[in-house]
Amino acid sequence: MIPTETWTSLKLIAWTQEYLANKGVDNARREAEWLLCAATGLDRVGLYLNFEKPLNPDELAAYRTMVVRRGKREPLQHLLGTQEFAGLDFEVTPAVLIPRHDTEILLEEALARGTDARCMLDIGTGSGCLAITLALRLPAAEVTAVDISASALAVARRNAERLGAPVEFLEGSLFEPVAGRTFDLIVSNPPYIPTAEIEQLQPEVRNYDPRLALDGGLDGLNFYATLIPQAIDCLNSGSWLLLEIGAGQETDVQSLFAQTSLYAPAVTACDHAGIIRVVGARKL
């Protein structure tokens, strides 16, 4: 991709689509367009309005660098620096799990069950996408977010400041930073991939998402087994603990709720493909 001929937007998109597809990238044409938008500062409409206009040397160099990185399966979101979640753009870096649209199911459940909540807690906040969106959608509630990673919290704080969300961010493991406090709603998208399955994930995930945000231990349930009983001391009576889960984990997670004998029967929520993505229960 160091040609002597003139490269226009249209020719670059066509070349890159084939290149990325051969590297195993899905939606290769759309990604080629996004990368070209980033290199030129144009939106997709602007690209096609100027489809015969040659790129200047700086634009072409920036584009080539991004295409090479994407061909190595570095996530598109790391190249662009952002990921959309619930209609908002969040900064993402290798320090945080890239927000997934599956997690919007957890957000929807939290919004539906937290309308009267005065204080909420997000455990393992990462980019802050859940905590920040909750703070913006339910402004009457005070939202606290915890993460063990200082570098992840730095990203989350930048997101909150840019989006104008009043979230309290605390560094530490699980409930340690909020010991002695109670909440009306607790949410978490904990690590839930069984350790042995991580190497089978797409390169974008296994090589670039933080391992701490993926690895749920031997059976993927390590964090649920700790989080569910510990949450009791941080929940007000009648308040909800809502958890994102991996596909097929609902029975095991429901059993962990039942074993405490301190929660009402657990409820579930499905994603748009009919896969159960959320398990939650109220403290009795």
pLDDT exceeds cutoff 90 at 96:
yes
Say if residue 68 is in the same domain as residue 180: no
Q: What percent of the chain has pLDDT over 70?
A: 98
Whether 84 is in a domain gets the answer no
Query: Tens of pLDDT along 246-262?
Result: 999 999 999 999 999 99
Residues 100 and 175 in one domain: yes
Specify the pTM: 0.90
Q: Provide the domain limits for residue 153.
A: 93-282
54 in a domain, yes or no? yes
Span 88-100, average pLDDT: 95
Q: Are 82 and 68 in contact (CB under 8 A)?
A: no
- The confidence score (pLDDT) of residue 4 equals 55
pLDDT at 1 > cutoff 50: no
Q: Is residue 19 located within the same domain as residue 144?
A: no
Q: What pLDDT score was predicted for residue 222?
A: 95
Q: In this predicted model, what pLDDT tens digit does every residue of 138-183 receive, in sequence order?
A: 999 999 999 999 999 999 999 999 999 999 999 999 999 999 999 9
pLDDT of 106-126, one tens digit each? Answer: 999 999 999 999 999 999 999
- Can you tell me the distance from the alpha carbon of 284 to that of 261, in angstroms, rounded to the nearest whole number? 9
Residue 28's contacts (CB-CB under 8 Å, 6 or more residues apart) are 16, 17, 18, 19, 20, 21
pLDDT value at residue 2: 46
**CA 155 to CA 128: how far, in whole Å?**
8
